[in-house]
Amino acid sequence: CGRVGAGASGGGGGGEEARDVIIDADALMRRFREDKCSLRVLHPQTRHDGMWKILATLETFFGCATGCNVYCTPPNSQGFAPHYDDIDAFVCQIEGEKRWRVYEPLEDEQYPRVSSKNFTQEEIMHQRVLFDGVLSAGDVLYMPRGAIHQAECSRGDELSVHATISTNQLNAPADLLEMSVGDMLQDFINTEKECRKSLPRTFLRDQWAQDGTEAGDAVERVVEFQREFLRRMTNGDEYINEARNRLGARLMLQRLPPPPSHFAKSPSYTGPAAARKMLEKAPPRVTLQL
């Protein structure tokens, strides 16, 4: 058995949170070999210093949270159906080879904020192919958010291992708007007591809400509130700044914790030769936990 963040995945996309559970290694390998399921290792940066350093560097460069999963796909198989993700992805081929096909985004689904369903081959057959090639160990493929993609082991006798590094999830002007407009609307509701009054009892019964009816008058009042709210939105700089602060606070909560080696016990030296012994060895690590 093994203890992980690891899971077997068949034809579906999406991600799962790592769970500290005991897995049945025999059952896992049986599904890998016989059912052609891919093995997904979640969050390898929590167990590997090298990966942690890569993600920490990208986190600083992009100014937002990063993540990573590692996928091991058995020979002559395809781990996931065609789909697109809600993140920018860097595919790093570690071992073996894998054929990747990347298609242009759907016209009305560019820059998505959520990942897609699984597409059939028929649904994407008319999408323009942006990339069709085989990645070998050491190759890196960048896929922007919304690009439809699928991958398969290109050789029948060799498994494939790759890492997918993700960034820029929910990191767009749309997210600032969602935060700032929500705050503005809440402040508007708090200051405009008239818009908090109950709707007339006939509001839902009057299907057309015609002028001169109670329902019609209520609709007109809502339209007036909309106009006033939109007028106030022209002075929304302070709300944008507050949303920016909230985006920064979210990043602080999402930032990578110290790598595993920072929790290793530092060597201890005593006696007259302590200084010399410490210099001969690697310097001890110091970790500050808040």
Least trusted range by pLDDT, from 63-72, 165-174, 209-218, 238-247: 209-218
Q: What is the mean pLDDT of residues 169-179?
A: 94
Residue at token pair 């001890």: 284
**pLDDT tens track for 246-274:** 999 999 999 888 876 766 555 566 666 66
**Res 147 pLDDT > 60:** yes
More confident residue, 7 or 63: 63
Q: pTM of the predicted model, to two decimals?
A: 0.76
Percent of the chain with pLDDT over 90: 57
More confident residue, 276 or 244: 244
Least trusted range by pLDDT, from 21-35, 110-124, 259-273: 259-273
Q: What's the pLDDT score for residue 288? A: 44
Band of the pLDDT at 6, cuts 50, 70, 90? very low
Band of the pLDDT at 8, cuts 50, 70, 90? very low
More confident residue, 145 or 236: 145
Can you tell me the distance from the alpha carbon of 56 to that of 61, in angstroms, rounded to the nearest whole number?
9
Least trusted range by pLDDT, from 22-26, 196-200, 230-234: 22-26
Band of the pLDDT at 92, cuts 50, 70, 90? very high
Q: What's the pLDDT score for residue 290? A: 41
